[in-house]
Amino acid sequence: MNDRVAVIGAGYAGLAAAVELAAAGHRVDVFEASRTLGGRARAARIEGFEVDNGQHILIGAYTETLRLMRAVGANPDVLLKRTPLRFEFPGEFLMHAPRLPAPLHTAFALLLAHGLDWSEKWAAIRLMRGLQAGRFRIEPDTTVTKWLDAKQTPSRQRRLLWEPLCIAALNTPAECASAQVLANVLRDSLGGAREASDLLLPQVNLSALFPDPAAKFVAEHGGTVRPGHRVASLHRETDGWHIDETGPYTHVVLAVAPYHLAALVPELASRVGHFDWEPIVTSYVRYPDTVRLPQPMLGVDAGLAQWLFDRGALCGQHGLIAAVISARGRHLDLPTAELEQRIHGEIARIVPGLPQPLAVQTITEKRATFACVPDLERPPTRTELPGLWLAGDYVASDYPATLEAAVRSGVAAARGILQKS
């Protein structure tokens, strides 16, 4: 166990790798450019409120994220609000999973859904059963739209169920998104155990959810975490890897986003050059404390905003509503003030008598996730450079760019190193 290991990047992927390695007795040094840990899933401060760089949701199928949270003493039962799957567009559509054992929870969720007629409900059940019978394999991979066309899916069901699910899970519009990756997500959520489809809504900021406790865990196990250290140089010498003035390291986990990879290791640029990006916009709209949504999370039908979150119900930030717009779309062409005014109008459709906002702040992540298109080639964890491993939500995996994909990639990199040690 004399190997020294470095992790570059303290997002969920890098910290997952660091925790696994530290737990196995390795001394790990983590380098992070930002002063705040968590990468794209990190805390941000607006208007005196601690919020996130973008509102996130987790689901019960995020087994590795939940396992590692427990390992570092971040109790998911306390930090996440767990509710059975509830998909609601007020006045249009409501589907919620009853507390029944799998697969009845899914069948009954679809059968009892409000807003679909019987033929649409049976069509949705047939689609899920067809996926199950085919072991959730879609060969050859195609776009979600073409797959739904081939299954003759009714248009209302697409609009209210599959397309919002696709955008929420893959952050890619159905006409470009991989049907296979959507099927993977359906397999592990609606097609899995009942708890797997539960929604887990953070009740603390995303840095406090895992990254900060993970950093503490690494430090308690003899490692270091260095926020505010942007690595400028990574090179290999005969005695191992050197990071700026530090080293040598036997192994390095490179846990930066693909667009930061090439600057550190130009040899790997071709592995990620073909990735395209999808944005996510989060507007935090502050109203008087008494304003609340009918549910902690609601969909917006035919709006610019897709999902609304009541941060009062989630984390005691009363009057604060987060509106999320995933993937590219016409909203990106609007001036911010107009976008925010339209979002306010959409919240007003759901909350009668809504007063004007006291303040609004919008965070646009232009490269929130990679575009999850069919047959996307994603690089493996292990590189051809000895001792250099990749971790991140873009690394080869069944999953789209999510916290769970990031965490699993970090765990895979750590396990690769542990096997070599």
| Interacting residues with ligand FAD (CB under 6 A) | 8-14, 31-34, 39-41, 53-54, 56-58, 230-231, 255-257, 260, 264, 280, 282, 365, 368-369, 392-393, 401-404, 406
At closest approach, how far in Å is the CB of 191 from ligand FAD? Answer: 18
In sequence order, what are the residues at sequence separation of 6 or more whose Cβ sits closer than 8 angstroms to the Cβ of residue 182? 144, 162, 165, 166, 169, 170
Burial 295-325 (b: 16+ CB within 10 A, else e): bbbbbbbebbbbbbbbbbbbbebbbbbbbbb
Q: Are the CB atoms for 67 and 408 separated by under 8 Å?
A: no
Q: What is the DSSP letter of 119?
A: H
Q: Which is nearer to ligand FAD, 58 or 138 (CB)?
A: 58
Q: Which is nearer to ligand FAD, 59 or 131 (CB)?
A: 59
The helix or strand, by DSSP H or E, that contains position 364, with its residue range, turns out to be strand 359-370
- Which sign does the torsion angle of CA 140, 145, 147, 150 carry? negative
At closest approach, how far in Å is the CB of 264 from ligand FAD? Answer: 6
At closest approach, how far in Å is the CB of 147 from ligand FAD? Answer: 22
At closest approach, how far in Å is the CB of 288 from ligand FAD? Answer: 26
Closest CA to 363 of 58, 57, 80, 45: 45
At closest approach, how far in Å is the CB of 153 from ligand FAD? Answer: 25
Q: Which is nearer to ligand FAD, 362 or 421 (CB)?
A: 362
> Rounded to whole angstroms, what are the CA distances from 188 to 156, 160, 192, 391, 402?
25, 21, 5, 22, 14
Distance of alpha carbon 95 from alpha carbon 337, whole angstroms: 33
Q: Which is nearer to ligand FAD, 54 or 319 (CB)?
A: 54
How many CB atoms within 10 Å of residue 135? 9
Q: Which is nearer to ligand FAD, 26 or 378 (CB)?
A: 378
381 residue type, one letter: T
Q: What is the DSSP letter of 158?
A: I
Q: Which is nearer to ligand FAD, 33 or 100 (CB)?
A: 33
Q: Specify whether the backbone of 231 is left (phi greater than 0), alpha (psi in -120 to 50) or beta.
A: beta
Distance of alpha carbon 305 from alpha carbon 286, whole angstroms: 16
Q: Are the CB atoms for 156 and 120 separated by under 8 Å?
A: yes
158 residue type, one letter: R
Q: Which is nearer to ligand FAD, 61 or 128 (CB)?
A: 61
At closest approach, how far in Å is the CB of 390 from ligand FAD? Answer: 10
Q: Which is nearer to ligand FAD, 231 or 291 (CB)?
A: 231
At closest approach, how far in Å is the CB of 15 from ligand FAD? Answer: 8
At closest approach, how far in Å is the CB of 360 from ligand FAD? Answer: 16
